[in-house]
Each structure stands twice: as structure tokens, then as C-alpha cells.
Structure 1
């Protein structure tokens, strides 16, 4: 568990499921830029079973969520969500730095993530933190970063 004075990263537990489901479901249209068909609780529970889930708390309040999965050549950030009231306060940057430290600790030399073109806040953040576009399709980019 990584902490600073006000910021704590902790493993997600069963009691966090409603928080994560509501946060991700509310963010989907903005993140992908198109209307999303009804994302069901079953869809969520399938994603719950994959990867490592981490809750971000800020000043004792759940402020966000990360989920990553192991790929053969990189640790892949599958989801990063920050509660709207906590955005633009550096939590996304700190969450990415935490994720990168976890990847390095697990022996990965590279991290990856997918960013949708409609997610206007995320692209510049990833670029600022040295993520580079490795591949792209009509709506999104696969971004990677080699860890030092």
C-alpha cells in the first residue's frame, strides 16, 4: 500500500464493487465518446474477476479506481477513473506513477494503456508522462511507456 499525507492506494474489496460500478458506468460515455449500450452488472462482474483492482482514497474519501492486467510484454492499465469532484487535482498523475511503480516491482519494463480520442483530459496527461502512441485505430490509441 502506497501513501502520502492525504492519498492512499489500497486493494479493492467486495464492498467497493458498487462504488466502482457506478463510477465506471457514469464515465463510459465521456471516456469512449459514443453512447454506450447498457453496461450491465454482469459485464462489470466479469471485469471484476480480471486483473488487479486498486482504490484511490483522498482525505479519507474514495476518489478513484485503477485496474491493470498482465500482458506478455507489459503491464496494461485497463481502467483509471477519478471521481469528477477530485479531477484536476493531480490524482490521475499520482495514480499513473503508482501504477508504474507496481509494474516495475513486478518486473515489467513496459506499461501500456488505451485512450479514446473523446477522452480529452487523458491524452495530454499520458503524453506529459512520456507515454507514446504505439498503434491506433479510428477512435483510440494504444499508448506505451518504457520504464527506467
Structure 2
């Protein structure tokens, strides 16, 4: 399935989806949501909303830093997961980075998150592991 991916300023949609999707991981790891930090970071991100048939189904947030594009958020609504939308969003991020002349994608993911399998399948490799979080990178050729 190929979503339509459009720039967004819909912080409320993004925050609600992220909080919902990450709640179990935060609880398991003893982390707490920081709304002020989210508000600050939101202003620094290039954010995109994913749509299927005009229905918002996900969010992708990117940030360019030096020689890499960082995927700060990739969240798909639970009822739309495992349908290729995450793969499509990663492809979009790669294309976006390539157009900017950037040859690396980076992300951080909870070690207990099943999305690790998607990232590894898409060519991301673990750089570091700390506090239950893995930093991963994929070179764009």
C-alpha cells in the first residue's frame, strides 16, 4: 500500500499518535512523556502526515543534521501497521535525503520495539545501544 505523504503542522495529531504508540514502551522502561520537550522539538522538525484514501494514518518527522537525515518519528496508527506504510515512509525519507545531497539516514528505536525488524530489513545497522535504545544508521548509495 502506498500512502500519500504531505507536509503537516498538525502537532496534535502527531502527539496523540506518538503517545499512543509509545505508551507501553515508556511504561516498561519507566519513561515519562514530556510535553514541553515535544513542543520544542516539534518546531525543529520537518513533519509529514501519511494518508490512505484521505484518512490520516501516520506521521514522519525528519531533521537534517550535518551529514545525515535523522528520522525522529515514524509512527503508523495500529490498525494500519504491517501493511507497508512504514516501508513507504522510509523510502520517502531516503528520497528526501538524497535530494538534499545527504547519504545517511539515522534513527533511534527502543530495543524492545518490533519495528527493529523493519529497520534491519531496510538496511539499517546498529551503531550504539544505551538505556534500552538503539541508534541505527543506513547509508544511502
* TM-score (normalised: structure 2): 0.90
User: Displaced runs of 4+ in structure 1, greater than 4 A?
Assistant: none
Would you say 1:45 and 2:11 are equivalent positions?
Answer: no
Given that 2:29 and 2:132 are in contact with CA atoms closer than 8 Å, whether structure 1 keeps it comes out as no
Q: Alpha carbons of 1:35 and 1:138: their partners in 2 closer, same or farther (altered >3 Å)?
A: closer
- Cα distance in 2 for partners of 1:127, 1:115 equals 11
Partner of 1:130: 123
Partner of 1:34: 29
Aligned Cα root-mean-square deviation (Å):
1.7
Would you say 1:56 and 2:50 are equivalent positions?
Answer: yes
Partner of 2:107: 113
How big is each residue's C-alpha offset from its partner over 1:10-55, in whole Å with a ceiling of 9 and x where there is no partner?
0002xx2221111111122234542432432x33321210120011
- Cα distance in 2 for partners of 1:89, 1:55 equals 16
Given that 1:111 and 1:147 are in contact with CA atoms closer than 8 Å, whether structure 2 keeps it comes out as yes
1:22 to 16, 27, 41: 16
Figure out how many residues of one structure are paired with residues of the other and give that number.
140
Q: Alpha carbons of 1:31 and 1:50: their partners in 2 closer, same or farther (altered >3 Å)?
A: farther
- Cα distance in 2 for partners of 1:18, 1:46 equals 14
How big is each residue's C-alpha offset from its partner over 1:58-109, in whole Å with a ceiling of 9 and x where there is no partner?
1110000011111122111111100111111110010001101100011101
Given that 1:30 and 1:118 are in contact with CA atoms closer than 8 Å, whether structure 2 keeps it comes out as no
- Cα distance in 2 for partners of 1:31, 1:89 equals 22
